[in-house]
Structure 1
């Protein structure tokens, strides 16, 4: 599909000025293409709030989840804000349009017992030690798949138990690593030293037998393979391990801010999706803590 020059300008802005990942750029390209398809023209200066509402209604009628529509509206809103700032557009037709609400569902998680079963790999081969290391790291630190793919040996401080990762929007954060993950990573690094890399500059923590950085697809495949091998009755993927980390941490610590920091969420509302704490617990904390709520 031929891109309107405003679309191309915005994608260039997101790529070169905002530094978004290639996956994020693909999502924006898709969302902007959908905007044109739904409204059936690309004369953005003539778009009205009614056009956007009709587009949202079309998506809803096709069965698209409210959260997905909200994400798309957010992409459109950002696009028109850019047009106002850089191309002197007058108004943002998406400003007051909200997605239809969908029933909230908690993310699927593995139980602690299932996690322990998954990472209890007794395979001491090269690949076995490598896979155990990244599985332990996923669950220990709640990392995203892209963060695990891109982590380098120099990003680790195993003595202090800290890993430095670059998350969404090129934001750097430091995350604790648990003792089990530290031990697994140390065992892997010892084995990794014997691998001959094609490029001496390759410093990726997780590499293939041929000395190349593991791809996201390869890590996903190995996780699914181990889930089947370890007898986990669930489709296990990297983000499920992140969900499980967040849920288990919140259940144990009840410290939403700390978990937000570890996950690298810009907004705490994103972190709240993971919490399984019930209202009764929150109400009891409120009654005990708030100065105007304490019972006489």
Structure 2
């Protein structure tokens, strides 16, 4: 919550005795941090002020009145959904304590919910940017053939197969009982262990398979003799998630990407680009390993954004007056 959210404290009205007692309770018994106490005090002042506006007694407040107070706060303030939810949490806590003190017979805010915060759409690269990142070649002077082959293969699997970073890290060279995942070169499939310990198989495209073969040709120069991991770092052990994130960030900067690139962005790019081309939401769900199609449906919004941009750029009726 921003500093502007505490304007109610600029010229504070005295808090009712029960509210002061509750503040003392959370300060002493719950040992809340000073900033959290400020938020609690602000929430109690807002509640007292709203109730005074409507001529309501806080100790006899009913559920429909509580709902009206929340609606009034929403209308009169610029608080977002998260801040409103925080206010509700403060108010619910107050009434639980009042109930313990036998000052009220119900919690009028129990069960009330703040408006849902809009979920931000996952960020995805444009097709050209994704291809540029995958095809990027460092300058010869800075080129290490082994690590470049590894990094290119990692990018191809993240973008070309839509794998999670944990699934890439878990890949082994050969299939085994202990292996979390592996790539079947003959079948052209990657077998991975996803969320909820669910296995799935995804096709490996020609570009990713070529990158894999190039990496396997030099992997032995980096990997320890007994290392099962497909991808290894400079010390010959399994290439970890933090190392992949750092590599991808550096590679994206060197390739001139317009924004910060992280592994999950390549998974989002895989999904949105595939949906743009095929329109098959169910297939994208299976490839991503989503348990519920509602999780995958967010990519239909990304697809609409893509279509809207094309419309705005190309259609003679698309130009809108300000």
The equivalent residue for 1:121 is: 136
Q: How far apart are the structure 2 equivalents of 1:140 and 1:65?
A: 40
1:209-239 Cα distance to aligned partner (Å, 9 max, x none): 2210011100000000000111111100001
1:163-174 alignment runs, 5 A limit:
163-174=190-201
Choose which of 125, 129, 132 in structure 2 pairs with 1:110: 125
Choose which of 225, 233, 238 in structure 1 pairs with 2:258: 233
Q: How far apart are the structure 1 equivalents of 2:249 and 2:165?
A: 14
The equivalent residue for 2:216 is: 189
The equivalent residue for 1:132 is: 152
Tell me how far 1:103 sits from its aligned partner: 2.9
Does residue 209 of the first structure (1) align with residue 234 of the second (2)?
A: yes
Choose which of 253, 256, 270 in structure 2 pairs with 1:245: 270
* TM-score, normalised relative to structure 2: 0.56
Tell me how far 1:63 sits from its aligned partner: 6.3
**Contact 1:121 1:128 (8 Å CA) reproduced:** no
* TM-score, normalised relative to structure 1: 0.60
Does residue 268 of the first structure (1) align with residue 293 of the second (2)?
A: yes
Residues 160 and 209 (structure 1), Cα distance of their counterparts in 2 relative to 1, 3 Å cut: same
Max radius of gyration: which structure?
2
Tell me how far 1:116 sits from its aligned partner: 1.0
Q: How far apart are the structure 2 equivalents of 1:267 and 1:173?
A: 15
Q: How far apart are the structure 1 equivalents of 2:203 and 2:115?
A: 38
**Contact 2:281 2:297 (8 Å CA) reproduced:** yes
The equivalent residue for 2:282 is: 257
Choose which of 129, 150, 162 in structure 2 pairs with 1:142: 162
Residues 124 and 186 (structure 1), Cα distance of their counterparts in 2 relative to 1, 3 Å cut: farther
The equivalent residue for 2:249 is: 224
RMSD: 3.3
Tell me how far 1:102 sits from its aligned partner: 2.3
**Contact 1:166 1:172 (8 Å CA) reproduced:** yes
Give unpaired runs (5+ residues) of structure 2: 1-31, 37-62, 71-78, 87-110, 138-142, 175-181, 308-322
Tell me how far 1:190 sits from its aligned partner: 0.8
Tell me how far 1:100 sits from its aligned partner: 2.9
**Contact 1:208 1:214 (8 Å CA) reproduced:** yes
Give unpaired runs (5+ residues) of structure 1: 1-35, 39-49, 70-95, 282-296
SS of match in other structure, 1:174: strand
**Contact 1:149 1:214 (8 Å CA) reproduced:** yes
1:220-270 Cα distance to aligned partner (Å, 9 max, x none): 000000001111111000011011100001000111111001101011000
Tell me how far 1:65 sits from its aligned partner: 8.8
1:153-168 alignment runs, 5 A limit:
153-154=173-174, 155-168=182-195
Equivalenced residues, count: 201
The equivalent residue for 2:22 is: none
